[in-house]
Amino acid sequence: MNWENEAAPGKWTNKEIIGHLIDSAHINLQRFVRCTYEEGFKLIYFQEEWVQAQHYRNADLTGLLKLWELVNRQIVRVLQNYPADRTQIKCDNGGDGPSFNTVEFLANDYIVHMQHHLNQLILS
């Protein structure tokens, strides 16, 4: 796999895809944790701005992959011990307007989202 690939205009490099997955993991970890004690809060992120601001294109690959691994291990730990009575709690993750989703939906959607981007890496 070419980690130093040049992306087409408007597309992310492979490192930036991993960086985006790190950002997504951080945001979702916050959602999962906050939903254990709070409901209805709004937590969104602007993916293009975050990837650009964090300069993933020039980051150390080993560090990026380790960070991605560790944040995901924390998500697994949180979800494995998630209070059963809190899985239907909702938070607002809509960028263009309210979009309330349950923890259960967000966890499943996170996995689908991650698989989508990992497949992009495999194909590049």
Q: Is residue 121 over pLDDT 80?
A: yes
Which tokens belong to 88?
């239907």
Q: Which domain holds residue 74?
A: 14-123
Region for residue 94 given its phi and psi (left: phi exceeds 0; alpha: psi -120 to 50; beta: otherwise): beta
Instruction: Decide if 9 is inside a domain.
Output: no
d(C-alpha 11, C-alpha 87), whole Å: 34
Burial-class residue 111 by CB neighbours within 10 Å (0-12, 13-18, 19+).
exposed
As a residue count, the chain comes to 124
- Are 86 and 38 within 8 A, CB to CB? no
Q: Cβ distance 102 to 93 under 8 Å?
A: no
Give the pLDDT band of residue 10 (cuts 50, 70, 90): confident
pTM, two decimal places: 0.93
DSSP code of 42? B
Instruction: List pLDDT tens digits, range 22-73.
Output: 999 999 999 999 999 999 999 998 999 999 999 999 999 999 999 999 999 9
The CATH code of the domain that includes 104 is 1.20.120.450
Task: Decide if 98 is inside a domain.
Answer: yes
Q: Is residue 3 part of a domain?
A: no
